[in-house]
Structure 1
Amino acid sequence: MAEMSVTTASLQSFPKSLLCSLSTRKFNSSFHPSAILSPISRFCLISKFNSFRFSAAVVKAASSPHANTKEPMLPPYDVLITGASKGIGYALAKEFLKAGDNVIICSRSDERVVSALDRLRVETGKQHVWIPMQGTKCDVREGDDVKTLVAFAKEKLQYIDIWQINNAGSNAYSFKPLAEASDEDLIQVVTTNTLGLMICCREAINLMQNQPRGGHIFNIDGAGSDGRPTPRFAAYGATKRSVVHLTKSLQAELEMQDVKNVLVHNLSPGMVTTDLLMSGANTKQAKFFINVLAEPADVVAEYLVPNIRSIPTNGSTKATYIRFLTGLKAYSQIFSRIAFGARRNRYVLED
């Protein structure tokens, strides 16, 4: 199966999706009882909810001795990246290595992950990068594979400070209406982007909440994450919308369980010039926005990694949404193109 390790923007309805998808914000996962309840029933609801939170905290404290403790997390960081054999996942791994961190990478393809390991060591001159076992794949859709990955990480590094999830996203290299999509393509997109994300988040939380220094989980979003339409790759957009919802839900769950040493964040790399994005550059509108807004994976990773590393470095306790392509940057580049013809034909020839 094909892997996708990039985030694409909606190429058919981009002007609409741009308005909401390119702003920077932080999540608020607080619980707010309904305002239509009477004062008495509302008080009862709050009391029951707080009692539930207290009970959950007691159970969690008994079963996870480190859930409410926090040791300082200092660099170099121990980093695990899924879907890191190419694209944005590979570029992120390279930047973490250049920063001096320890990195474990994995992929569904034995051949690609071994090749990526060799290239990373040559390109960075760093040796502290590993794969679970030479010739052993990790399919994020398989719970046993992910559990094996976690066991290897604990053996090799003891802790995982940063887990970069969902670089192994998929669109099945398919840009066409949903009505024309095959069962196989739909199954690949949904199981990789949604089921794989859930399995990795589950294992990451179980690992990190028992680490005295806790951990940070970063979920990669994509086109559709803001709820705007993604024609020609509707299934992909629907799964990326679920990334944001799942992240918010996990934040709320951890808060309810009084787990303070694990944070779940969202990460938005914007439009990255990988094979998958370029395979969709077959319309006039798609070519325009790829030339104007897309950037190579290395450029995106050079921005994202310092921002990711700053969170544990600063001791942040807030869930964060990190975006590479902000609204100001996007509108500035679009204006420069319209006014001065900038960025024309950067990657593809326009009609």
Structure 2
Amino acid sequence: MSTVAITGGTRGIGLGMARALLGSGHRVALCGVDPERVDKVRAELSGDVLAVVADVTDHEQLQRFWDAAVCEFGRVDVWVNNAGISHERKPLWQLPVETARAVVDTNLLGVLHGSAVAMNGMAAAGGGHVWNMEGLGSDGRTVPGLTAYGSTKRAVTYLTKALAAETPPGVSVGLLSPGMVVTDLLTHGYDDPAELAKARKVFNILADTVDTVAPWLAQQAVTQTRNGAHVRWLTTSKVIGRFALAPLRRRELFDA
């Protein structure tokens, strides 16, 4: 069994992966920024789990997270840079400076810090694998109002491919692409109810719940650990198939 460390592991995809991994007998270390949320998740989860408070924008806090996981479990085999935030859907010039900075610091700087901490630790320990989480913008597609968020995800894809060319012996990196998953990030920032209703029609065709996607991602995370791996849930063929079946299959992923 593997030891897996997950940043942003107290909600959404990160928490879903943690649950799936623990259910399969793996050891999990997770972190989050909200102490109350960390305590709640720690109490809810069962198995070999370590839950600590750590802010991914702070390199020293991530180093302490790594050290705590190694102290608890002996080593870290897989590290998942999952922590991420979005912002209200506004043109960049209308986005508050502090909001843009928070998105860049969490989504990009956090991945830089996490990758550096994990790769350094894994190099000293003799090996391991780092996963970075893709999102909207990773493939270069643009969405009005999400320029800052999409830019960070595009950068994470480049970062991961670049890291694959400079990994130390025994260490590998890869990309996890969850596609559209029903979390607070998916519907965040819609001020216009009509726009949200329109978006939900597409989400109901292409999106999936955390309970569907996270267990699959968790399995891939501990099995597909070659350097440069790119694991995608929502493939092009799946997109085409879902649109083709949409008139025949009604899906409702949101509460009324």
Both proteins in one fold, TM over 0.5:
yes
What is aligned with 1:267? 176
Letter in 1 for 2:99: D
Answer whether contact 2:173 2:227 (CA < 8 A) is retained.
Answer: no
Find the structure with the greater CA-based Rg. 1
Residue in structure 2 matched with residue 248 of structure 1 by the alignment? 161
Counterparts of 1:88-127 in structure 2, within 5 Å, are: 88-121=13-46, 126=47
Partner of 1:170: 85
- Write the distance in 2 (CA, Å) between the matches of 1:202 and 1:346: 37
- Selected match of 1:139 from 55, 78, 91: 55
Q: Does 1:286 align with 2:164?
A: no
- Normalising to structure 2: TM-score of the pair? 0.93
Counting matched residue pairs gives 252
CA distance in 1, matches of 2:40, 2:223: 30
Residue 142 of structure 2 is matched in structure 1 by 229
Determine the structure 2 residue equivalent to 1:197: 111
* Whole-angstrom CA distance in 2 between matches of 1:334 and 1:106: 37
**Residues 178 and 234 in structure 2, CA contact (< 8 A), matched pair in contact too:** yes
Q: CA 1:333–1:226 in 2, change beyond 3 Å: closer, same or farther?
A: same
Aligned mates of 1:90, 1:218 — CA distance in 2: 15
Q: Does 1:130 align with 2:50?
A: yes
- Residue matched to 2:122: 208
In 2, the alpha carbon distance for the partners of 1:117 and 1:270 equals 27
More strand by share: 2
User: For the residues of structure 2 that align with 1:305 and 1:288, how far apart are their CA atoms?
Assistant: 28
SS of the equivalent of 1:79 reads strand
The gaps in structure 1 that reach 5 residues or longer are: 1-75
Amino acid at match of 1:247: T
CA positional deviation for 1:327:
1.1
Quote how far apart the aligned CAs of 1:152 are. 0.9
- Structure 1 consecutive aligned stretches of length 4 or more whose deviation exceeds 6 Å: none
5+ residue gaps, structure 2: none
Match of 1:85 in 2: 10
State the secondary structure of the residue aligned to 1:202.
Answer: helix
**Does the CA-based 8 Å contact 2:12-2:183 persist in structure 1?**
yes
In structure 1, what residue type is equivalent to 2:125? Q
CA contact (8 A) 1:270 1:323 kept: yes
Tell me the distance in 1 between the aligned counterparts of 2:224 and 2:142.
32
